[in-house]
Structure 1
Amino acid sequence: MNVIAQSDVARETYWGISATEYAVFYLLTAITIAVFLYGVYRRFARYAAGDDDPFARLNELPSRTLTAAKIVLSNEKQFDRDLYGGLMHAFILWGFLTLFIATSILAVDGYVYKPIFQGHFWEGDFYLAYQFVVDAMGLLFVVGLGMAIYRRYWVRNERLWGRHTSSEDDLFIWTLFGLGVGGFLLEGLRVYSAGIPDHEVVSFVAYGLALAFDAAGLATLGPEQAGLNAAGLNVENLHWLAWWSHSLLAFFFIAWIPYAKPFHMLSSFANVITRDEKAGQRLPNVPADLDATNAESLDDFTWKELLDQDACTKCGRCSSVCPAKASDRPLDPRNVILDLKRYREEREAGAEPQPIIADGGTSVIDTETMESCMACMACMDACPVEIEHLQSFTRLQRQMTDQGDVDSSVQDVFQNVMQNGNTFGDAPRNRADWADDLEFDITDAREEEVDYLWYVGDYPSYDERNKRVARSLATILEEADVSFGILFDDEKYDGNDVRRIGEEFLYVELAGHHVETWEDCEFDKIVCTDPHSYNTFKNEYPEVDFAEFADDPMMPFDYTDRWNEEGEIDVLHWTQAVEELVRDGKLELNGDELDYTVTYHDPCHLGRYNDEYEAPRELIEATGCELAEMPRNRADSFCCGGGGGGLWMDFEEDPKPSEERLREALEDTAAGAAVEKFVVACPMCMTMYEDGRKTGDFEDQIEIVDVAELIVEAIGKEREARLEVAAD
């Protein structure tokens, strides 16, 4: 065998390539880089032309970048709910980055170090370490791609396929696979041509391929005979062919990056850097200018919303967790983002304009699609690249409202709130009637100073089932001997869900009324029955610039300050407040009063929105109940179906989200059919699950209770136990 001479522990970089080919290679390199840079420029120029984003996205950029690098490099979002997908993406990402760094090292050695120091650092121990790491990480790269190919084509994972799946997805994955396998083939041919030197064993994949070539008896001629004019099957010809094939494929891929799916390698990282850490908790405020539009054209979308569209990898994680899609509503979060992107690209290519959202088939997005959204934030929680679906969705919802394209039942709710201050349309004077059956009087917080200003909310005030929850909570606070009061007929609807279905000005009107009313009260903390109220008071009221609206004659307030901008007033969900009381010993619970087997449903606005998972659980366990967790719990919780206006609309859906959740409680928890009570901590959840219990035929199998009702029962048991001890 003719052995090609190389240095003891290094190798020739461009072995087998003539001077002319060398020149052609660098001409192609220059063209590739130019095409790549032009594509990137066009992308970012489009973002620069987008509307301003209402939130600071580029402040503290170094810190943002470091945090984003941690999120991306750790693949933490990919591992969430999907170990296989996390490993697959980690192998591909780390392998790709390693190969990129390895190529950069070669460039630095050849074009920086060599001209300056007249030598190489890419030799000896460094070379050996380099070769081992590159082979190891390159192998992970190929394995990861193999896993992706297996999942996409063999298993045909459902969430990877949809109407936006196209040939570019195939080209992307097979190009990367070709680069990985081609790189190993090229290296194996080189090691074989060099006589399989012992030190190349560090390149264990290439070394193994070289041994295979040797076992097959692959011929070798010598470098002077390699190239276009050489004949026959031999290592020199194969190496030359592999080298050029690999190089041309790499040139194609690099040039293609800004123009198709591979751009997510850049846009996704940029999207993570510019994310809003309170996304979903707060929504962008609509301008006070009544002439402002929301989604009449693409010009209304902010640069961040355009970046969201480009960051989407079509992975379908958002689709797989969406309760609307699972219930056969016409919403697929991925499709909304990608429909907007496709329309943008079509318009840039000269297509005729279309309505962004309308009722019918001529618009980019159909109104029925957006009516299906439950604003549960599951899509955002699942998205590995931090796409803020709700920001774009709310923009579309606002446009629907501006156009009058909202469901008739939702229009009735708007009318009820405008006329009576509540979603039921009931008289404001009846708001506190739920308290008439209590054995004690509730303080009027407008007249007396209290520790807790309790915002009761619409459903606990007017809905018969939820009135029982309100009375339970009042009993708990009375038992704890704390000072609390309510606003009686000055309490109105909080505005959270009407805002999430697009009625921003009604929301501002409600917010202005409440903060102005609160300014005339003396209290330490605001306590909310409903997680929706809790979220909007805590995260959204402080965002409103009331001065922009105070002069509007339609607005029933004169308040001109920012309310609670520095967070000086604590806003609590009632479970947080009562958990503090239990911890401080103001409620006597021994943890053995009740012996039910229960499961607990995490409300979206308490859990995913505000990361509060433990307070309700600690209260349940304080009553003595045995808590059996459902498979989908905490951040993975499945929405009841009532959010985003779903409570007020009728859908053709099978199964209803509430029915599916109750089935899960009885069939998929560890306790199974032994679960006696389905525990909630949200009035909307109570309403939806009581309905699902009837329509799903679960009435004889499980009871729906609020955490407050469990506590009141436990308090009664504890009192009975004390009386028995006293009698003895």
Structure 2
Amino acid sequence: MQSEVTRETFWTVGPVGKAVFYFLSALAVVYFVYGTYARFARYAEGADEPFDRLDDLPGRVVAAAGTVASNRGQFDRDLYAGVMHSFVVWGFLTLLVGTTILGVDIDLWRPAVGESFFVGEFYLSYSFVMDAMGLLFVVGVGMALYRRYAEREGRLWGRHTSFEDDAFVWTLFLLGAGGYLLEAVRIVGSAGMASYERVSFVGFFLAGLLSEAGLGPAAAETLYHWGWWSHALLALGFVAFLPAGKPFHMISSFANVVTRDEKAGVRLPGVPADAAPDEIGYTSLDDVSWRHLLDQDACTKCGRCSSVCPAKASGRPLDPRDVILDLKNYRQDRDAGRTEEVDIVADGGDSVVAAETMESCMSCMACMDACPVDIEHVTEFTHMNRRLTETGQMDEGVQEAMMNAFQNGNTFGEPARTRPEWTDDLEFEVPDAREEAVEYLWYVGEYPSYDERNRRVARSLATLFERAGVSYGILYEEERHDGNDVRRVGEEGLFEMLVEENAEAFADCEFEAVVTTDPHSMNTFRNEYPEISEFDAPVHHYTEVVEDLVRRGRLGLDGTELDYTATYHDPCHLGRMNEVYEAPRELVRATGVRLAEMPRNRADSFCCGGGGGGLWMEFDDDPKPSEERLREALEDTDAGGDVEKFVVACPMCATMYEDGRKTGDYEAEIEIVDVAELLCEALDAKGDTEAESGSDSASSAAAD
């Protein structure tokens, strides 16, 4: 009886049909293998990568498998897409494994052993699992169709949307739904509605409907024959042409995740010391690294990067997805001889990418954080910015800032001797780290040193250090621009010069760790300076250090000093790039302020617009990123209009939001305050309370 519980795998096909099927299968496999080989052979022609992408390959593969199996990237910011993609992936992989098992039984096990294992309990278990997971697959593809065609989700459509997108999703649906219909017809015609086929619950249900509709065994046999061949040809065609189109992302995206650089964007690659001027940046396809060629093929056109890009949201001519796909299309057309060779990037004239598109990037890495297949947009954009810089095609505002940094060590163009003038209004002397050993070498940064608004932040932080009895010191006029954004606009030579000067100044001091006011400084000191200098000291943002001081009671705050509602903005370089999220929040709460989170917070934070040289350029944004963020703070937080202060922890953010408060007409509604200023406000409030308490006690004693 056990041997009867099975199904005929080539029912109605016959010996000749079976031979034709195997021939077509072999042909499909050959096309697939050759197409896949051709793709990877093209990657091998790409330029070398500066970082090792294949170290600990087994560990990388295991980690990538975990990422793919869990669909972590797809769930980020979009639960619907996460569920949809999980159903498709898990269902597709199960169907693939199931088909492979069936092939092993037919082509290997039966010829070797003389009997099939595709019977009895194994067959029943197999049928149930395949039906269940196949249902998930069909539901997942149905969700994709609904979102694409019924909801018409905006990020799925763009100038690169094409027929291949439609063909891909509809082919998957026809394979999944057609498989169930084929199973139902077989159950009616071959199995005669056998009760054991109930384990194939979807197929059995459809078979019941077909039977009730009048489909008999004879008609089912004829229908099955044509249906089987239609299904087989569609499946084999899908396999054969998979490397030629969008479905190839099932392979390339996995390879992309395997070869990811965990510090991509946070740490940019350098320029070889012997590189000629025409070898700096991306000039032609020959310059593009093999990993960035792989990036282009891994892109699924999902538009997640576009939907979170602050430049695109502000109306700038940057769409991260379009840049990647423009490069891909140019590569394919150039390889096929369909187009002439042009510059990868240029200001005016023929080029793949326009200069103004690259200038629009804020280097906030939101696109990279949102990408589920680890495309490294910012790294590629930096290579293009370097080409613009090397050929003198840089924005005028950026050129002026770079010249100032080169001549004076700061982008304001102010003399180095005036850098410590912010200390003049303090009631105490700020220690000189060049003259005494300190625990913390405080790198103040240029905005807190030269910009009047941010000088208040520097004075507040100095006050906190003094109140807490911290051993600290600054470099005074020896401090130079940190170089973080200098590097991101493409000025690699100037960046290396600044690294050398700052590293030399650090080396002349005796300290245990560096603390920075600006997250941009922290990022480059922590992640980039060690790559090209001997600097290797621990680096902290000031919120990390001060949070430790507050926790240990060094500032005497008890969490009752202030009584109002505020929201906190995660700076890109502090949060998304370096994962410092809780320290600033703990400090806000330590003052007694009620913290209302904005919907876009932590890794999902929205850039202020100042990164990537944004502070040095003029854009006709509508709205400005800073204006949009302030609107979100006042309208989209749970506290709504009760939010009185917008708390920042980055001088660049403070500058951009002060500007956005004016241009967006928010001056009467909300105040911009740095975490250090908030803490000083709390200390002042505590002092006033204690003074009042002391005065009341004195008055009471006098009365007695």
Q: What is the TM-score when the length of structure 2 is the normalising length? A: 0.97
Which position in structure 2 is the counterpart of 1:704?
672
Q: CA deviation at 1:6?
A: 11
Quote the offset at 1:219 in angstroms.
2.9
Structure 2 residue aligned with 1:595: 563
- The answer (yes or no) to whether the contact 1:531–1:606 under 8 Å persists in 2 is yes
| Residue 197 of structure 1 pairs with residue 200 of structure 2 | no
Which of 193, 211, 221 does residue 214 from structure 1 map onto? 211
Q: How many pairs were matched up?
A: 692
Shift of 1:332: 0.2
Counterpart of 1:229 in structure 2 is none
Is the 8 Å Cα contact of residues 188 and 217 (structure 2) preserved in structure 1? no
Query: Counterparts of 1:626 and 1:216 in 2: how far apart (Å)?
Result: 65
Partner of 1:461 in structure 2?
A: 449
Question: In 1, Cα distance between the equivalents of 2:354 and 2:98?
Answer: 48
**Displacement after TM superposition at 1:32 (Å):** 0.4
Task: Mark the runs of 5 or more structure 2 residues left unpaired by the alignment.
Answer: 698-704
| 2:461 aligned residue (473, 493, 496) | 473
Please report how far the alpha carbon of residue 117 of structure 1 lies from its aligned counterpart in structure 2 after TM superposition. 2.1
Is the counterpart of residue 365 in structure 1 residue 353 in structure 2?
yes
Aligned partner of 1:423: which letter?
T
1:236 Cα deviation after fit: 1.1
- 2:46 corresponds in structure 1 to 50
1:267 aligns with 2:235: no
Is this contact kept in 2: 1:398–1:504, CA < 8 A? Answer: yes
The match for 1:665 is 633
Whether contact under 8 Å (1:6, 1:12) holds in the other structure is no
Identify which range, 657-666 or 578-587, moves more after superposition. Answer: 578-587
Deviations 1:452-496 (A, max 9, x none): 100000100000000000000000000000111100110010000
Q: For 1:453, what is the secondary structure of its paired residue? A: strand
Deviation at 1:430, TM superposition (A): 0.2
Whole-Å separation in 2 of the counterparts to 1:86 and 1:611:
23
1:534/1:571 contact within 8 Å kept: yes
Cα distance in 2 for residues equivalent to 1:520 and 1:644? 30
- Aligned amino acid, residue 447 of structure 1: E
* C-alpha distance in 2 between matches for 1:657 and 1:12: 63
- Residue 142 of structure 1 aligns with which residue? 138
2-side partners of 1:662 and 1:587: how far apart?
A: 30
Matching of residue 376 in structure 1 with residue 373 in structure 2: no
1:191-234 Cα distance to aligned partner (Å, 9 max, x none): 1112110010010111011111210111333xxxxxxxxxxxx1
Correspondence for 2:473: 485
Deviation at 1:725, TM superposition (A): 4.3
Matched, 1:178 2:174: yes
Question: Mapping of 1:32-111 within 5 angstroms?
Answer: 32-111=28-107
Q: Which letter does structure 1 place at the counterpart of 2:309?
A: C
Instruction: After superposition, give the CA deviation of every residue in 1:596-654 in whole Å (9 maximum; x if it has no partner).
Output: 21000000000000011000000000000000000110011000000000111110110
Distance in structure 1 (CA, Å) of the matches to 2:94 and 2:641: 51
Over residues 666-693 of structure 1, what are the superposed CA-to-partner deviations in whole Å (9 max), with x where a residue is unaligned?
1110111110000000000000000000
SS in structure 2 of the partner of residue 676 of structure 1: strand
| 1:22 corresponds to | 18
- Is 1:572–2:544 an aligned residue pair? no
Structure 1 gaps, min length 5: 222-233, 547-561
Q: What residue is the counterpart of 1:438 in the other structure? A: 426
Partner residue in 1 for 2:437:
449
SS at match of 2:351: coil
Question: For 1:632, which of 572, 576, 600 is the aligned residue?
Answer: 600
Alpha-carbon distance, 1:715 to partner:
1.3
Q: 1:204 to 1:361 in 2, by over 3 A?
A: farther
1:377 to partner: Cα distance: 0.3
2:510 counterpart of 1:522 = yes
Q: Which amino acid aligns with 1:625?
A: V
Deviation at 1:721, TM superposition (A): 3.2
**Whole-Å Cα distance in 1 between the matches of residues 32 and 340 of structure 2?**
29
Query: Does 1:311 find its partner at 2:311?
Result: no
| Contact 2:192-2:217 within 8 A present in 1 as well | no
Asked if 1:656 is matched to 2:624, the reply is yes
SS at match of 2:58: helix
Measured against aligned partners, the alpha-carbon deviations of 1:378-408 in whole angstroms (never above 9, x if no partner) come to 0000000011111111101111101111100
Return the letter of the residue paired with 1:164.
H
Q: Which amino acid aligns with 1:259?
A: A
The alpha carbon displacement at 1:39 in A equals 0.3
1:679 aligns with 2:647: yes
Q: Is the 8 A contact 2:2 2:120 kept in 1?
A: no
Match of 2:110 in 1: 114
Are 2:605 and 1:620 equivalent residues in the alignment?
no
Cα pair 2:304 2:370 within 8 Å, conserved: yes
| Preserved contact between residue 603 and residue 637 of structure 1 (Cα < 8 Å) | yes
Coordinate RMSD, CA, aligned:
1.1
- Give percent identity, aligned residues only: 63
For residues 41 and 280 of structure 2, the distance between their equivalents in structure 1, rounded to whole angstroms, comes to 23
Residue 281 of structure 1 corresponds to which residue in structure 2? 266
Deviation at 1:361, TM superposition (A): 4.5
Matched residue SS, 1:598: strand
